[in-house]
Structure 1
Amino acid sequence: MKVYGIPNCNTVKKSLDWLKANHIDFEFHDFKKKGITTEKLNEWCNTFGWDTVLNRKGLTWKKLSKEEQAKIDNQDLAIAYLLENTSAIKRPIVENGGKAILIGFDDDKYAQTLA
């Protein structure tokens, strides 16, 4: 199991705490430090939808003007933006066997998917 995120994010902290409390082994990938690839972003966008992978609730997105936000209207443009602004990736993203299975944190979804 691999968890992608940034360590100072509260949602990531909740996810990691849940995994530890449920004795689930995982590897953590800090995409602020280790980066992320175009291929990985494409995989996630194909699994969850680019509109879900792009975190529109975060400060990074909100710093953009309405005009700049409006220009990001498809997967290719979203991925280009996310490569430059990794903190705008919705997090955490959990993979099992190299396949993305969860995005964000929801106690019930984690229990259903990982139990």
Structure 2
Amino acid sequence: MKVYGIASCDTVKKALRALDAAGHRPEFVDIRKTPLEPAEIARFFAEFGEALVNRRSTTWRGLSETERAEAPDRLISAHPALMKRPVIEAGEGLTLGWDAQAQARWLGKPGEGA
């Protein structure tokens, strides 16, 4: 299991703690220190589409209109903090965020680990 995110993100921290407590032993990939490969970004966009770009983030608000108009994959590549977090991958499964649905998928019960 891999968890993609940013080390300072509270949501990523909650997910990592809950996954570890559930016995998953996730491998954390800090996308600021280890930028995503183009193939990873493409795979995430194929799964989540535009939802992968966090348009409520401080980073998004700091972009110019010209930058916001760029292709989403280029935006994520240039500004990793724009990616909604975490992306959790295990086997063929991927989830985005740490909502009740993601928690149910990885922990077995909705609401745990929040």
Q: TM above 0.5, one fold?
A: yes
Which of 80, 96, 109 is the equivalent residue of 2:90? 96
Percent pairwise identity: 32
Equivalent-residue separation in structure 1 for 2:4 and 2:28 (angstroms): 6
Equivalent-residue separation in structure 2 for 1:15 and 1:38 (angstroms): 25
Distance 1:81 1:111, change over 3 A: closer
Read off the aligned partner of 2:95 and give its amino acid letter.
L
Offset of residue 112 of structure 1 = 2.2
Equivalent-residue separation in structure 1 for 2:93 and 2:8 (angstroms): 21
Equivalent-residue separation in structure 1 for 2:88 and 2:48 (angstroms): 12
DSSP 3-state at the match of 1:90: coil
TM-score if structure 2 supplies the norm length?
0.85
Alignment-derived partner of residue 34 in structure 2: 34
Offset of residue 100 of structure 1 = 4.6
Q: Structure 1 regions of 5+ residues with no counterpart?
A: none
Alignment-derived partner of residue 4 in structure 1: 4
**Over aligned residue pairs, what C-alpha RMSD do you find?**
1.4
Equivalent-residue separation in structure 1 for 2:35 and 2:54 (angstroms): 17
The superposition leaves residues 68-112 of structure 1 with CA deviations (integer Å, 9 ceiling, x where unpaired) of: 42x24xxxx111111111111111000012x35211111x22342
Contact 2:41–2:73 (Cα < 8 Å) also in 1 = yes
DSSP 3-state at the match of 2:102: helix
Alignment-derived partner of residue 110 in structure 1: 102
DSSP 3-state at the match of 2:24: coil
TM-score if structure 1 supplies the norm length?
0.84
Distance 1:22 1:92, change over 3 A: same
Distance 1:14 1:21, change over 3 A: same
Aligned residue pair count: 107
Equivalent-residue separation in structure 1 for 2:75 and 2:83 (angstroms): 10
Equivalent-residue separation in structure 2 for 1:19 and 1:7 (angstroms): 15
